């Protein structure tokens, strides 16, 4: 049974990790495309319109990959997690169906109009189609995170005699205290990814001395959006999300922060350390006293419960994995703020386009927002374990009892091979679009 559960979780983790590489760019990029188109309407400078159309090609490629990789993921609710779907389908089916019916169709319908309808629509209506693509992509994120938030903090439900969850308060799904902090944190993180991608492509053009005008626009826009988004990810959205975990999932919070012993007189914040699960302590730790208590409760001496206060059966299944995922996310977020601040200072001083080490840094940072977003999701998902629905349905009780571990491993290996080919195809096509660069004055 443990083998079966392990492979079920591995398959879902692999497919969702690969899938989310694409929506995290499209959500943030849709806002930046709307900005470029708005800037063109305001200034009548053609380069902004060309920039919007260039990035919409990248958006469309990412969108297509997101659709292709999202469909197999949804089938796993029926194949690997049939019991979970049977018990909770009456609730999570609502938000997932709304995501497909409303936001996905809104996004995909107007994407076609934005890509091919500029001459037919005129610039103002073309801007409206871009805005509706943005609205669809952000609504999609909202409905997915509403589903996720219900699993983290279940509200508005009752459990029937047969064990099935049914919704008795539809509005509670959208007033869930878990939803807004998670959604805002996720969208700001998505904007960090798109900002770094846009500024990395701009830096690539400037360093290679081609598409110089576009390079400057991309770097400038990426740095401004990136600085704002990096700050928002940390505060208030990240702070709010962490306080939510401390309030509603205290055992998860203790594992994330690496707190084993409950400290009287305030908890330290751990900068570096390795969880030792045998001796229930952190090895080689570097910590700052009392900071965690202040950040969490605005009191220097506030008590934060350690893992020793909870039953081991309720610990997150993989405490070291959760601890490292959380610290990688926070560490990278700090690096993003630092780099974007330096780039922002150079931008104000009108020296950014000539500061080669910052341009190189922006270019080489391209993969790291993807890593930060992935570890952020791992923090949320590993933190909820051993529950599928927090405190109500354990993961072991949601798996499909009739699907063998061999079957799951076979299909997982198939997904790995197929997604490797898809990933290479995506990189080739994206590389081709970026290398060709934005096309001038095709109006």
Q: What is the mean pLDDT of each run of 10 residues along the chain (443 residues)?
A: 86 96 96 97 95 96 94 89 95 92 89 91 95 96 96 96 93 96 98 98 96 96 98 96 96 95 86 92 91 90 91 94 97 98 97 96 97 97 96 95 91 96 97 91 50
- For residue 312, what are the contacts with CB-CB under 8 A and spacing of at least 6? none
> According to the model, what pLDDT value does residue 390 have?
97
Cβ–Cβ contacts within 10 Å for residue 395, how many? 18
- For residue 226, give the nearest of 142, 344, 329 by alpha carbon: 344
- Encoded tokens for 130: 């871009």
Rounded alpha-carbon distances, angstroms, from residue 156 to 94, 146, 172, 284: 13, 12, 5, 44
The rounded distance, in Å, linking the Cα atoms of 165 and 255 is 29
Burial of 313 (0-12, 13-18, 19+ CB in 10 A): exposed
Parse the chain into domains and list their residue ranges: 190-403
> According to the model, what pLDDT value does residue 441 have?
62
Cβ–Cβ contacts within 10 Å for residue 199, how many? 31
> According to the model, what pLDDT value does residue 443 have?
42
- Encoded tokens for 180: 């807004």
> According to the model, what pLDDT value does residue 164 have?
95
């Amino acid at each position: 049974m443990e083998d079966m559960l392990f492979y079920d979780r591995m398959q879902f983790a692999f497919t969702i990790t690969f899938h989310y590489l694409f929506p995290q760019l499209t959500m943030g990029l849709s806002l930046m495309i709307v900005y470029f188109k708005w800037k063109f309407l305001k200034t009548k400078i053609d380069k902004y319109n060309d920039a919007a159309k260039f990035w919409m090609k990248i958006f469309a490629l990412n969108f297509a990959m997101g659709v292709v990789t999202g469909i197999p993921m949804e089938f796993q609710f029926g194949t690997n997690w049939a019991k979970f779907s049977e018990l909770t389908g009456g609730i999570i089916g609502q938000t997932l169906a709304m995501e497909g019916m409303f936001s996905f169709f809104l996004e995909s319908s107007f994407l076609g109009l934005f890509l091919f309808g500029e001459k037919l629509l005129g610039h103002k209506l073309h801007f409206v189609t871009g805005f509706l693509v943005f609205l669809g992509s952000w609504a999609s994120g909202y409905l997915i995170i509403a589903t996720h938030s219900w699993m983290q903090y279940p509200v508005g439900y009752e459990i029937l005699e047969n064990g099935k969850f049914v919704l008795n308060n539809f509005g509670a799904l959208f007033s869930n205290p878990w939803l807004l902090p998670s959604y805002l944190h996720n969208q700001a993180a998505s904007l960090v990814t798109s900002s770094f991608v846009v500024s990395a492509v701009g830096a690539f053009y400037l360093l290679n001395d081609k598409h110089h005008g576009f390079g400057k626009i991309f770097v400038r826009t990426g740095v401004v959006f990136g600085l704002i988004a990096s700050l928002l990810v940390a505060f208030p959205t990240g702070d709010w999300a962490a306080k939510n975990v401390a309030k509603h999932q205290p055992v998860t919070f203790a594992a994330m922060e690496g707190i084993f012993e409950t400290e009287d007189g305030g908890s330290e914040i751990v900068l570096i350390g390795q969880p030792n699960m045998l001796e229930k302590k952190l090895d080689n730790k570097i910590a700052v006293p009392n900071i965690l208590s202040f950040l969490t409760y605005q009191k220097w001496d506030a008590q934060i419960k350690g893992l020793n206060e909870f039953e081991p059966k309720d610990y997150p299944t993989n405490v070291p994995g959760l601890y490292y995922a959380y610290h990688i996310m926070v560490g990278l977020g700090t690096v993003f703020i630092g780099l974007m601040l330096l780039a922002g200072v150079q931008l104000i001083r009108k020296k950014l386009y000539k500061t080669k080490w910052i341009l190189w840094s922006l270019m080489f940072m391209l993969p790291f927002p993807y890593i930060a977003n992935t570890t952020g999701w791992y923090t949320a998902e590993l933190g909820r374990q051993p529950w599928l629905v927090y405190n109500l349905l354990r993961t072991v009780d949601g798996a499909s009892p009739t699907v063998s571990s061999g079957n799951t491993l076979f299909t997982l290996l198939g997904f790995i091979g197929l997604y490797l080919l898809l990933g290479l195809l995506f990189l080739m096509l994206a590389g081709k679009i970026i290398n060709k660069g934005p096309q001038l004055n095709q109006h």
